[in-house]
């Protein structure tokens, strides 16, 4: 995570589940989770904005729901 000015999400507590974000010199946005610091996700500001708006609109809520099992 060196070489970039990483900022921790204000929603992250003191636990290890933290998201860090940094703006790169090439205009891209870098995201990393503290549990996997070697895995860096690269995106554009426009795509990150669309993703955040989708989260706020509930577009991904179904991924967090418990799967239903068919009744026997």
In angstroms, rounded to a whole number, what is the distance separating the alpha carbons of residues 6 and 31? Answer: 9
This prediction's pTM: 0.73
Angle at 50 between CA 53 and CA 32, to 5 degrees: 95
In angstroms, rounded to a whole number, what is the distance separating the alpha carbons of residues 12 and 3? Answer: 22
β-strands 36-43, 19-23 pairing: unpaired
- What value does the mean pLDDT take over residues 64-68? 79
Integer distance in angstroms from the first to the last C-alpha of the chain? 50
Task: State pLDDT tens for residues 1-58.
Answer: 568 999 987 777 676 678 899 999 999 999 999 889 899 999 999 999 999 999 999 9
Locate the domains of the chain by residue range.
7-61
Chain centre to alpha carbon of residue 31: 6
């Amino acid at each position: 995570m060196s070489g970039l000015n990483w900022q921790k999400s204000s929603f992250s507590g003191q636990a290890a589940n933290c998201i860090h974000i940094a703006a790169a010199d090439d205009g891209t946005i870098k995201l990393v989770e503290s549990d996997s610091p070697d895995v860096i996700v690269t995106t554009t500001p426009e795509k990150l904005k669309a993703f955040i708006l989708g989260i706020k609109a509930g577009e991904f809520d179904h991924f967090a729901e418990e799967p239903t099992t068919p009744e026997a």
